[in-house]
Amino acid sequence: MNLPALHEMATGERRANGGTHIHTCVASGCLSSNSQAVHDSLTAAAVDADPNSDVRACAVGCLRLCSEGPLVSVTQPDGEATLYRNVAPEHAASIVGALNGGDAEVDTVDPDHPFFAGQEGIVLENSGKVEPERIESYVAAGGYESLYHVVHEMTPNEVVDEVTRSGLRGRGGAGFPTGVKWATVAKQEAAQKYVVCNADEGDPGAFMDRSVLESDPHRVLEGMAISAYAVGATQGYVYVRGEYPLAIKRLTRAIRQARRLGVLGTQVFESFFDFRIDIRVGAGAFVCGEETALIASIEGQRGTPRPRPPFPAESGIWGSPTLINNVETFANIVPIVREGTDWFASIGTEKSKGTKVFALAGKVRHTGLIEVPMGTTLQEIVIDMAGGTPDERQVKAVQTGGPSGGCIPASALDTPVDYESLAEIGSIMGSGGMIVMDDQDSMIDVARFFMEFCMEESCGKCAPCRIGTVQLHRLLAKLTSGNGTAADVAALEHLSDVVRHTSLCGLGQTAPNPVLSTLRHFPEEYEAAITK
C-alpha cells in the first residue's frame, strides 16, 4: 500500500457513498435495545422505496446520547442531519419516507440539544460516522494518512517531540505526560520493544474505551502504529477485557483488514517499518488495569503487580522496554499528527491539554458519552449538558474516577474538570467515569459500595490492601447498619491513611479515596451515623 493507492481507495469510497446516509448506532448500548433489527429494517426499507436511489443505510458506532437509544442519524448530501431517538424496526418505512417529504413517525432530537452543545470531537470525531467493520469507511475519513506521513516524512525523534510539545497526558487516570513516557521507551537500547494498549476498563459505570473500540477501532490501531514507529517497537498488544465481546470482535476484524491493506504487519506502507498487533483477552480482574499486573497477565502469569522501579518503559514484557497507554490516549495521536501540536495545545487548560471523554451515568436526565475541553466545569456537564436529575431532586454529589476517585459535593460543581483541580478537591480524573447522585443517596453507603468493589478486586499480594480494604468495608458496613461509634469514624480515617501510603499498587493506594472524600465533604452524615 502506498499513498496514491490509499487516496484512490478513499476517493472511491466517497464517490460510492455520496448520497444520503442513514446511520444506525450498533454499539453495545443501542444493540441492547434492538438496534441491529432497526438497521436491518432501514436497509430493507431503503431498497423497497427505490432500489436505484443513493440512500445508504450504514451501521455505525456510538451516537453518544445513550439514554435515548436506539439512535438513528440521517445525513443529507448538503450536510443537514436529523437525529431520531427511541427508534424501533416499525419506524423504518416512515424514516425513509421522510426523505421524500413524508412524516417520520418517531421523535427527533433537537439539533441544538444542550447535551451536544458543549462537546468537541477529537477522540470521538469519527464515532457515529464511520462504519467500524469497514476499513474503507475509515480510509475515506482520512484514516491511515497520519501513519503514512509519520513513516515516510518524520524521524522517530520528531514524532516523540511532536507528542511531547502537544502537552498530551495519559488518559488512563494518572495523567502522566505521554511524551515523557514515549521518550523514555525510545531511548532504551534493546533488540525488542513492545507497545500495549490498555483496554482493561474496569471502573463501575465507565464505558468510554469500550465505545471507542466498538465505534472506531482503526483510530486506535493507527495511534498504536505511530507510537511503535516513534519508540522503535515491532510488536503490539491490545489488552482488552473479556466482558467486551463486541469490541474484541471489531478489533479482530480491524487488525485483519489493516494487515491485508498493508498498514500493519511487515513493511508498513512499503517502508522498513514492521509492526504487528495481537489481542490479549483479560479475565476481568480490575487489578490488571495496573501496568505491571497487565504485563504479568500478557506473559501468561497471574495478574498481580510488582514493585516499581524498574518501570515498564525500562523493563516490561519479558524484560523488554514496553510502552503502555490506554485507548483514549492512543485515539488522540492521529489528530495531533494531522492538525499539529499548536492546535491540540490550544484546547483545554495550561496544564491539562485537549479534551476528555466521560461516560455520564447515574441520576441525570441524559446519560451517554460526552467529550469536552479540559477545564469545562462539573456544573456545565452535570446540569447544562446532562440536564440535572430526572425528577427535579437536588444533585448531591458527583463521583469521578471510579473506585479510585472521590465524591465531589454539589457545592463544588463549579470545579473545572482538569487533573489539578480534581486532585485539589480530593478526587481524580480516572479513566473518565462520572456518576451523579441525588439527595436521596447516602454517601456512607456509596463509600461502602466502592470499598466492597476494591475489597473483592484486590489481588491479595500485599497486606495493606488485602487486609485494609476488608477492615475499611467492615467499618463502613457497621456505620450503615446503625451500630457505628465515634471510634469507628476515627479508625476509618487512620486506616485509610495507612492503606493509601503502604499498598503496593494503585488499587490499594487509591481505594480509600471515596472514604476520605466523603469524610471530608459530608462529615455530617458520619456524625449522624454514630449511635454510641
Q: What is the pLDDT tens value at each position of the chain, 532 positions in all?
A: 888 899 999 999 988 887 899 999 999 999 999 999 999 999 999 999 888 788 899 999 999 999 999 999 999 888 889 999 999 999 999 999 998 888 888 999 998 899 999 999 999 999 999 999 999 999 999 999 999 999 999 999 999 999 999 999 999 877 899 999 999 999 999 999 999 999 999 888 889 999 999 999 999 999 999 999 999 999 999 999 999 999 999 999 999 999 999 999 999 999 999 999 999 999 889 999 999 999 999 999 999 999 999 999 999 999 999 999 999 999 999 999 999 999 999 999 999 999 999 999 999 999 999 999 999 999 999 999 999 999 889 999 999 988 888 999 999 999 999 999 999 998 988 888 999 999 999 999 999 999 999 999 999 999 999 999 999 999 999 999 988 999 999 999 999 999 999 999 999 999 999 999 999 999 999 999 998 6
pTM of the model: 0.96
Angle at CA 373, nearest 5°, toward 372 and 375?
Answer: 115
In a domain, 132, yes or no: no
Q: Which of 446, 412, 415, 420 is nearest to 516 (CA)?
A: 446
Residues 256 and 289 in one domain: yes
CA distance 395 to 90: 37
Residues 188 and 312 in one domain: yes
Residues 183 and 327 in one domain: yes
CA distance 385 to 394: 16
Place of cell 432501514: 42
Residues 180 and 292 in one domain: yes
DSSP string, 238-276: EEEETT-HHHHHHHHHHHHHHHHHTSSBSSGGGSS--BE
Instruction: Please say whether the beta carbons of 495 and 475 come within 8 A.
Output: yes
pLDDT for position 532: 65
Residues 469 and 387 in one domain: no
Place of cell 516490561: 316
Task: Spell 184-216 as b/e; 16+ CB within 10 A means b.
Answer: bbbebeeeebbbbbbbbbbbebbbbbbbbbbbb
Q: What is the CATH number of the domain that holds 383?
A: 3.10.20.600
In a domain, 133, yes or no: no
Residues 55 and 172 in one domain: no
Phi and psi at residue 15, in whole multiples of 5°?
A: -65, -40
Angle at CA 278, nearest 5°, toward 129 and 176?
Answer: 75
Q: Which domain holds residue 501?
A: 443-529
Query: What total of structural domains would you count in the chain?
Result: 4
DSSP annotation of 377 reads B
Domain-ending residue, one of 392, 407, 438: 438
In a domain, 95, yes or no: yes
DSSP annotation of 404 reads G
CA distance 121 to 383: 20
Residues 434 and 361 in one domain: yes
Residues 282 and 400 in one domain: no
Domain-ending residue, one of 411, 438, 465: 438
Q: Which of 456, 439, 343 is nearest to 391 (CA)?
A: 439
Residues 151 and 76 in one domain: no
Q: What is the CATH number of the domain that holds 108?
A: 3.40.30.10
Residues 195 and 283 in one domain: yes
In a domain, 137, yes or no: no
pLDDT for position 53: 82
Residues 295 and 186 in one domain: yes
Q: And the C-alpha cell for 295?
A: 504485563
Residues 85 and 109 in one domain: yes
Domain-ending residue, one of 421, 438, 455: 438
In a domain, 122, yes or no: no
